[in-house]
Amino acid sequence: MVDPYRIETTPNFERGFKRLDPSIARRIISKIERLAAHPEAHAQPLRNLPPDLAGLCKCRLGDYRVLFWQDDRSQVITLYAVAHRSTIYKHL
């Protein structure tokens, strides 16, 4: 069995996560744990991003999105943002 990826967060993700309803937050934590265990099954790359966000991926959870970078070499997933789908892409 492969070791799960290590999860890191950005201040932007932390701010968004604190604003979530507790039931949504629990679902997102569960999804992040599954992502760490099976990163190949969840990453959906985003297109047409600014150069400083190159390689950013998304993970869908109902009406919410988690944006992250996945580094397969060092087995790290860096969580960039979490928000409702209606607002998450407006500030990229």
pTM, 2 dp: 0.90
Residue type, 47: R
pLDDT for position 1: 57
Q: What is the CATH number of the domain that holds 15?
A: 3.30.2310.20
Domain range for 60: 6-91
Is the pLDDT assigned to residue 75 strictly greater than 90? yes
Confidence of residue 2 (pLDDT cuts 50, 70, 90): low
- Please count the structural domains in the chain: 1
HEC letters along the chain: CCCCCEEEECHHHHHHHHCCCHHHHHHHHHHHHHHHHCHHHCCEECCCCCHHHCCCEEEEECCEEEEEEEECCCCEEEEEEEEECCCHHHHC
Interval 26-62: pLDDT, tens: 999 999 999 999 887 777 888 888 888 888 999 999 9
